[in-house]
């Protein structure tokens, strides 16, 4: 038997190298926080940039740690997925 497999759609996300200058004390604080959570400094900075950009677009949304990882939620309120479930009902 011969099977023919077609890829209909896939995403390729390329990363871009960006150089940023940080104060020594800020860089050290970021390194310490990254190490404490098992992240690299690059991963921590990428996450901060992504979440900060999303906060700029949606000022009432924050990000918090949870059992399955980071998740979006309303400041002082429920997680976004809970709101979506409520709206869908």
> Over the stretch 8-29, which tens digit does the pLDDT of each residue have?
666 667 788 889 999 999 999 9
Residue 76 lies in domain = 59-89
Burial zone of 39 (CB within 10 Å; 0-12 exposed, 13-18 middle, 19+ buried): middle
Q: How many domains in the chain?
A: 2
pLDDT at 4 over 80: no
Q: Are residues 72 and 86 in the same domain?
A: yes
Read off φ and ψ for residue 73, nearest 5 degrees: -155, 165
Report yes or no on 11 lying in a domain. Answer: no
- CA distances to 11, 70, 72 from 52, in Å: 23, 13, 12
Report yes or no on 20 lying in a domain. Answer: no
Q: Are residues 30 and 51 in the same domain?
A: yes
Residue 1: per-residue pLDDT: 59
Q: With bands split at pLDDT 50, 70 and 90, how would you rate the model's confidence at 88? A: confident
39-74: pLDDT as tens digits: 999 999 999 999 999 999 999 999 999 898 899 999
């Amino acid at each position: 038997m011969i099977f023919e497999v077609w890829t209909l759609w896939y995403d390729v996300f390329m990363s871009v190298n960006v150089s940023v200058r940080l104060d020594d004390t800020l860089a050290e604080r970021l390194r310490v926080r990254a190490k404490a959570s098992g992240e690299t400094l690059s991963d921590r900075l990428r996450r901060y940039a992504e979440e900060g950009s999303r906060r700029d677009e949606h000022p009432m949304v924050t990000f918090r740690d949870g059992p399955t990882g980071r998740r979006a939620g309303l400041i002082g309120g429920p997680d976004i997925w809970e709101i979506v479930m409520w709206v869908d009902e």
